[in-house]
Each structure stands twice: as structure tokens, then as C-alpha cells.
């Protein structure tokens, strides 16, 4: 009881802080200096239509490389922590049902296609590597729901993941020699704003990020599903 009261008192303090922030908040009428720079320079400098993508892939590309690394570490640790759970393949499971099995067969290719579409068009439309990767992983999740005992090749997943990572860093280093700096997208021609083959290396980098994120999420899902109660 006392604990609950302490928790409620703490929440009241947080609520007071949030209420003060909320009542004192007035939306900006103009973009601040950083946002203004991105809004003015993105189209001319990088040729990307989606400014959020330009920030993530090029302006703050190093941070994104770090973020993908954090995600890789999370996937690796999940695999490590769950590694001891042996998979009992002999146990029979009840069938999951005709609807789910057939629906999976029908939907998985389309989900994969949508995922690829989202990350290839990351510089033009709302979307990109992280979103596309998550969509691809949702196809893996659907396959696992339809057949919980399905085994995904961890070797294939980690091969895709490391290949995408190596190419990502290689493109970044190519930027050092061929353009202005690490992860500079201007190693390829910028093209016309709004076309698929534009914005230099951004579609390439975001596709690699999409494959990497999809592989990392898939490996997390596979590790979680392969874990059985001892």
C-alpha cells in the first residue's frame, strides 16, 4: 500500500512537470536554424525529396551507422541469451489451420515486395530502410505464426546482415575518396529530384539498411521462436 502511494506521488510530480510543459508550449511559427538549413539545402545539395531520409542517411549518416550497430548488438545479445533453449522438434503441435497456412502462402511474397518497395523509395516517399526492414521482418513473423516449428537458416540471415553492413561501410568509405566525406551520397550522380534513380547513393544505402534491419529483426524473431521451455 505504501509502495503504491509512493508511486502515485512520483507520478503526481511527473504529471505536474508535464502539465507545466504542456501549458507553456507554443508551436513555432518559423523553422529553427537547423531545420531551416535542412529545408533549404537538401534538394540542392543531396537531391533527396524526403528531407527526413536525407538527415538520417547523409547529414547524420554516422549516427545511423551507430544505430544499426546498436540494433545488431541487441539481436546478437538476444541470440546469445536465448541460445541455451533447445528446440524440441519431436513434440506435435496442433495444426494452425487452413486459413492461416493458405493466407501466409498468399501474403508473404506481397509483404516482401511491399518491404522492398518501401526501402527502395525511401528518398521519395515516407518510408525507408528501417520501415521496410520492419515490414520484411513482419513477413518472417507471419511465417513463424503459420508454422511455429519452421527453422530459419541463421547462417543465411547473418550472411545477408554482414554483407549489407560491409557494403554500407564500404560506400561510406568510398565517400571519403570520391566525394566530400564519410557516407557522402554524392559518389553517384544526383539525378533529377523526385526520380527513383536520384539522390546519389541514398537509395543504395537505404536499401542496404533495409536488408540489414530486416535480417536483424528476423534473427530476433527466429531466436525468440526457437526458444522452448526447458
Partner 1 sequence: MVHVVMATGFLLILIGFYGALTHRNLLRMIVAFTVADTGVNVVIVSVGHMRGRSAPILDRAVAAADAVQRIIDPVPQALVLTAIVIGVGVTALMLAYAWRIYRQHRTLDIARLTALKG
Distance of closest approach, residue 95 Cβ to partner 1, in angstroms: 26
Q: Which stretch binds partner 1 (CB under 8 A): 60-68, 88-96, 103-111, 144-152?
A: 60-68
Other CB atoms within 10 Å distance of the CB of residue 162: 13
Residue among 70 and 99 whose Cβ is closer to partner 1? 70
Determine the Cα angle at 229 with ends 223 and 230, to 5°: 115
- Residue 169 sits in the site that holds partner 1 (CB under 8 A): no
Angle between helices 61-82 and 202-226 (to 10 degrees): 20
- Residue 141 sits in the site that holds partner 1 (CB under 8 A): no
Distances (CA, A) of 211 to 64, 100, 120, 150, 177: 14, 26, 11, 21, 25
> 150 — phi, psi (to 5°)?
-60, 140
Residues 118/214, Cβ–Cβ less than 8 Å: no
Task: Spell out, one character per residue from 7 to 26, where the chain touches partner 1: x when CB under 8 A holds, - when not.
Answer: xx-xx--xx--xx-xx--x-
Task: Spell out, one character per residue from 66 to 85, where the chain touches partner 1: x when CB under 8 A holds, - when not.
Answer: -x--xx-xxx-xx--xx-xx
Other CB atoms within 10 Å distance of the CB of residue 198: 20
- DSSP letter assigned to residue 5: H
Cα separation, 102 vs 87, whole angstroms: 25
- Figure out which of the listed residues 95, 153, 155, 230 binds partner 1, where binding follows CB under 8 A: 230
- Looking at residues 182 to 211 of the shown chain, list those that interact with partner 1 (rule: CB under 8 A): 193-194
What is the gyration radius of the CA atoms in the chain, in angstroms?
22
- Residue 128 sits in the site that holds partner 1 (CB under 8 A): yes
Residue among 15 and 109 whose Cβ is closer to partner 1? 15
Residues 112/196, Cβ–Cβ less than 8 Å: no
Cα end-to-end distance, the chain, whole Å: 36
- Residue 42 sits in the site that holds partner 1 (CB under 8 A): yes
Distance of closest approach, residue 145 Cβ to partner 1, in angstroms: 17
What does the chain come to in residues? 230
Chain-centroid distance, C-alpha 165:
13
Binding residue count for partner 1, defined by CB under 8 A:
64
Distance of closest approach, residue 141 Cβ to partner 1, in angstroms: 12
The residues of the shown chain that bind partner 1, judged by CB under 8 A, are 3-4, 7-8, 10-11, 14-15, 18-19, 21-22, 25, 27-29, 31-32, 34-36, 38-40, 42-44, 49-52, 55-56, 60, 63-64, 67, 70-71, 73-75, 77-78, 81-82, 84-85, 124-126, 128, 130, 134, 193-194, 213, 217, 220, 223-224, 227, 229-230
Amino acid at each position: 500500500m505504501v509502495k503504491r502511494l509512493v508511486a502515485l506521488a512520483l507520478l503526481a510530480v511527473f504529471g505536474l512537470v508535464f502539465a507545466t510543459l504542456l501549458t507553456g508550449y507554443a508551436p513555432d511559427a518559423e523553422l529553427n536554424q537547423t531545420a531551416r538549413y535542412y529545408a533549404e539545402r537538401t534538394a540542392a545539395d543531396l537531391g533527396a525529396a524526403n528531407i527526413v531520409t536525407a538527415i538520417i542517411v547523409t547529414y547524420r549518416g554516422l549516427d545511423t551507422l551507430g544505430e544499426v550497430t546498436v540494433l545488431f548488438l541487441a539481436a546478437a545479445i538476444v541470440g546469445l541469451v536465448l541460445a541455451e533453449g533447445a528446440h524440441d522438434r519431436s513434440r506435435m503441435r496442433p495444426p494452425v489451420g487452413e486459413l492461416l497456412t493458405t493466407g501466409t502462402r498468399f501474403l508473404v511474397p506481397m509483404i516482401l515486395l511491399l518491404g522492398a518497395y518501401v526501402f527502395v523509395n525511401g528518398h521519395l516517399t515516407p518510408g525507408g530502410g528501417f520501415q521496410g526492414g520492419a515490414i520484411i521482418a513482419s513477413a518472417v513473423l507471419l511465417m513463424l505464426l503459420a508454422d511455429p516449428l519452421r527453422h530459419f537458416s541463421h547462417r543465411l540471415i547473418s550472411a545477408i546482415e554482414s554483407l549489407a553492413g560491409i557494403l554500407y561501410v564500404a560506400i561510406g568509405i568510398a565517400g571519403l575518396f570520391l566525394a566530400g566525406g564519410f557516407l557522402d551520397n554524392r559518389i553517384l550522380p544526383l539525378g533529377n529530384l523526385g526520380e527513383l534513380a536520384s539522390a546519389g547513393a541514398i537509395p543504395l544505402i537505404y536499401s542496404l539498411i533495409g536488408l540489414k534491419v530486416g535480417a536483424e529483426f528476423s534473427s530476433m524473431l527466429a531466436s525468440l521462436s526457437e526458444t522452448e521451455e526447458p
